[in-house]
Structure 1
Amino acid sequence: MRKTKLTIHRQMFRESCITTNQLLIKCKKDYFSSKVSEIGHDQKQLHRLTNDLMGNKREIFLPEHEDDKLLADKFCEFFVGKISIIRDSLSTTNTSSSDSNPYES
């Protein structure tokens, strides 16, 4: 087409471009349809696939730290403390509600 500059060669080039683009679109549809079918009803995996398709990157934000083990230990202490506080408040609530129950004899 570039050498001959003929209209027929340009038309042939355009037709091959259109055919190639249609084939590429069909291949992409088939590929991603199969990916979605493989995932099934797992919403987490489906969300991850759509994020990957849209270019959203999963970044993990952690506090600044030098040692991974120390950071994990801090998280552990924090959540164990939270659980202890919740348990204590539940046991205090249960004790006070059983003391004031008018239906108990």
Structure 2
Amino acid sequence: MKGFAMILLVVLAVVSMAVRPGEAISCGDVQGYLSPCLQYLTSGGDPSSQCCSGVSGLSGSLQSQQDRQTACYCMKSAASSIPVQQDAAANLPGRCGVSVGYSISPNVDCST
């Protein structure tokens, strides 16, 4: 019986180490979700269904305030390196039927 209890404790210890809380979102994750939107963000028009799927996926992955702030900073950084149409970026969530909880613009304060 002692042997069984010891094996059970070892198994529980291994399982508890393998189960980690969700990791924070990264800029690579944000880019992955939004890469199908590049054409829309630079040229306007209508966002593709793949773009809207990415926006929806990104929105669903933002579980904490830290995730939302990180995504905001990542989007601002990316927008400064590519010629994004500001009105297209600001309208993207609404065009895809998704709410991100803040305005997408170069002037948004990501810390709040």
Short-chain TM bin: under 0.3
Structure number with larger C-alpha Rg: 1
Structure with the bigger RCO (C-alpha within 8 Å, sep 6+) is: 2
Higher percent of residues as helix:
1
TM-score w.r.t. the length of structure 2 is: 0.25
